[in-house]
Structure 1
Amino acid sequence: MSDFINHFWSNYVAIISLVSIFACALLLWLTARKRVVASADNTTGHVWDEDLREANNPLPLWWVGLFVLTIVFGLGYLFVFPGLGSFKGQSDWSSRSEYEGAMAQAAQELAPVYAKYVAMPLEEVARDPQARAIGERLFMNNCAQCHGSDARGSKGFPNLTDKDWLHGGTPEKIVETITKGRIGVMPPMAAAVGTPDDVKNVANYVLSLSGEPHDSLRAGLGKSKFTACAACHGIGGVGNQAVGAPNLSDRIWLHGYGEAAIVQMINAGKHNEMPPQEGRLSDAQIRVLASYVWGFSNNAATP
């Protein structure tokens, strides 16, 4: 990755650009100086396909002029705009500043639209038709890539339409989650649980908590070993929203279902991350988006 963030490639492109421009200028100058001795019929003596002869006519002035203007334009562009390595150009223009300016202008224009939602309780925002329409667009542009266009998620990405929340499903908690993001880490627990056989026993005990098909003998043996997991998941595996530990007693499986999937989780652990939207979305946009997400599982239907 370091090959793409050091100065070599920007300097390489700058050198290629300048060499190309000056090579074109040199070619134009050399061809203008060269005088070909023509025969009486104004040809150079070059013949192709028996009768196709090259005439010794000078380049049209309009063509030469355009060629010169192209060279001047290229040099002028590289002087005004960034294109020569770390040189920012006299205009100090950048795509980032252009983007930030456009976003600032858009935020200023949209401020009156969001103003009325800032003071409203999030539950009321969730039931406002216009706010729901805005929230839908925000969700499609920023959340649907992971959670799906229907917000039902997929393996590794939570379903937002049920009431199973890792960190809490109140409107305020959803605002916090969207704003700051979340990092979920389950460390490998095989060493704490015991032998590979103990791991299988714990996996079957976890399945028994939600009434899933399991080996009852193994589940009975795994109950005492589950104490290594109870520190996060709680006694009975009911979960802990304070640390984002999933509820293991329901039938909702974020990273896969069955003995093999649970054994893999205990052995290898898991690291999940939701990126923060703070800085990408304004506070007002986050409030509208959070109210829209809250509405999925709270029947906030449009009046």
Structure 2
Amino acid sequence: MSPGWSWYVIVLVAFNILGAAWLLWWTGKRRPGDPLPEDTSHYWDGDITEYNKPMPRWWINGFYIAIAFGIGYLLWFGGLGSYAGLGDWSSQGEHARDKAAADARLEETFKPYRDQPLPALAADPAALALGRSIFANTCATCHGSSAQGAIGYPDLSDDIWHWGGAPERILQTVLDGREGVMPPWGQVLTGMGGENAVDYVIAYVRALRDPALMRNNFMAAQGKQLYDGVCVACHGIDGKGNPEMGAPDLTDGYWLYGDDKQSLRKTITEGRHGIMPAHRGLLGETRARLVAAYVWSLSHKGDAAEGATPPQ
């Protein structure tokens, strides 16, 4: 708050307090010339008379005490512009203290699981329940309560991992996030293969999963040449992808953004930009480890039950 606004608040508060005190003083006593109660000539029902009489002294004193309390409250807790108050209290400070206390309790709860391997955590029912709870609070917004994802959000319950499915790779994804970028190749491909170039590439990409589609397929044959010139750098010559850069395997039949022709054309022409936010600061190491163990367990139920790490 700037000094000008701070003084504005201080003057406004002081004016209101002094105004309330003056009003109490002005109306709290009779003055010379005021009519006596019986001189008002205002009667109702024969025995009800309007009196011009101040409020009782105990009532007036109660208001003065409230004003004094309000002044003390403002001086102690701060309420006069940017004045911090004698008690050095702030809502931010109170929140920080409450958060520190809550974090200490959470730390005690999660302490037994610190630095534990993910397969071991996945084999522990208590740890798995904690991981499921953390997932529901943090991850389900994007990946769904069943972890099966949606268009643009990966299915975490299958065995397909664009960034690698080894336990430590999953933990790294949760802690530090991922950013997958598919560049827009529409203009480049059109310049190389004409106006049907994108459709050629779509035909070849679909044939990577089913080689039978390559037989007598002119479009797929044209698409292979374009693929080898543009796409092979990320997805590999065999289309198996590259987990180090998040390039998906094009032979497994899983399409993050949809497998219909319109979706594939949009992906190739305009590109895609997917971001998995980093959760290290939000969850911390141990909670991230627990939720990563839960995610890993979804596609390794047998291995999780035995607490063993499968071949990577």
TM-score interval for Structure 1 and Structure 2 normalised by the shorter chain? 0.7 to 0.9
State how far apart, in whole Å, the 2-side matches of 1:44 and 1:156 are.
Answer: 81
CA contact (8 A) 1:21 1:71 kept: no
Is 1:152 the equivalent of 2:148? yes
Match of 2:233 in 1: 231
Is 1:22 the equivalent of 2:18? no
Q: For 1:189-224, what per-residue CA distance to the aligned partner results, in whole angstroms no more than 9, with x for missing partners?
A: 223222553223323333333459x99543333222
CA contact (8 A) 1:126 1:294 kept: yes
Match of 1:256 in 2: 258
Q: TM-score, normalised to structure 2's length?
A: 0.76
Q: CA deviation at 1:14?
A: 8.4
The equivalences for 1:205-224 within 5 A come to 205-211=204-210, 217-224=218-225
Match of 1:3 in 2: none
Aligned to 1:272, what secondary structure does the other structure show?
strand
CA contact (8 A) 2:10 2:81 kept: no
Change (3 A) 1:28 1:235: same
Q: CA deviation at 1:31?
A: 5.2
State how far apart, in whole Å, the 2-side matches of 1:85 and 1:237 are.
Answer: 64
Q: In terms of mean alpha carbon deviation, does 218-227 or 123-132 score higher?
A: 218-227
Match of 1:247 among 241, 249, 271: 249
Q: For 1:10-32, what per-residue CA distance to the aligned partner results, in whole angstroms no more than 9, with x for missing partners?
A: 98698458625632531441353
Match of 1:190 in 2: 186
Q: For 1:57-101, what per-residue CA distance to the aligned partner results, in whole angstroms no more than 9, with x for missing partners?
A: 323445444544444444444443455555444444444443443
Structure 2: stretches of 5+ with no match in the other structure: 308-312
Q: CA deviation at 1:53?
A: 8.9
Determine what percentage of the aligned residue pairs are the same residue.
Answer: 38
Aligned to 2:111, what secondary structure does the other structure show?
helix
The residue type equivalent to 1:200 in the other structure is D
Q: In terms of mean alpha carbon deviation, does 107-116 or 133-142 score higher?
A: 107-116
CA contact (8 A) 1:175 1:286 kept: yes
Q: CA deviation at 1:160?
A: 0.9
Match of 2:53 in 1: 57
State how far apart, in whole Å, the 2-side matches of 1:76 and 1:100 are.
Answer: 25
Change (3 A) 1:70 1:259: farther
Is 1:136 the equivalent of 2:136? no
Match of 1:267 in 2: 269
Q: TM-score, normalised to structure 1's length?
A: 0.78
State how far apart, in whole Å, the 1-side matches of 2:42 and 2:146 are.
Answer: 71
Q: For 1:167-203, what per-residue CA distance to the aligned partner results, in whole angstroms no more than 9, with x for missing partners?
A: 1111111111111122222222223222553223323
Match of 1:32 among 25, 32, 35: 25
CA contact (8 A) 2:178 2:275 kept: yes
CA contact (8 A) 1:175 1:287 kept: yes
Match of 2:310 in 1: none
State how far apart, in whole Å, the 1-side matches of 2:158 and 2:40 are.
Answer: 84
Q: CA deviation at 1:39?
A: 4.1
The residue type equivalent to 1:223 in the other structure is K
Aligned to 2:281, what secondary structure does the other structure show?
coil
Q: In terms of mean alpha carbon deviation, does 266-275 or 21-30 score higher?
A: 21-30
CA contact (8 A) 1:39 1:45 kept: no
CA contact (8 A) 1:155 1:254 kept: yes
State how far apart, in whole Å, the 1-side matches of 2:185 and 2:36 are.
Answer: 95
RMSD: 3.7
CA contact (8 A) 2:35 2:52 kept: no
Aligned to 2:179, what secondary structure does the other structure show?
strand
Change (3 A) 1:200 1:131: same
State how far apart, in whole Å, the 2-side matches of 1:79 and 1:273 are.
Answer: 48
Structure 1: stretches of 5+ with no match in the other structure: 1-6
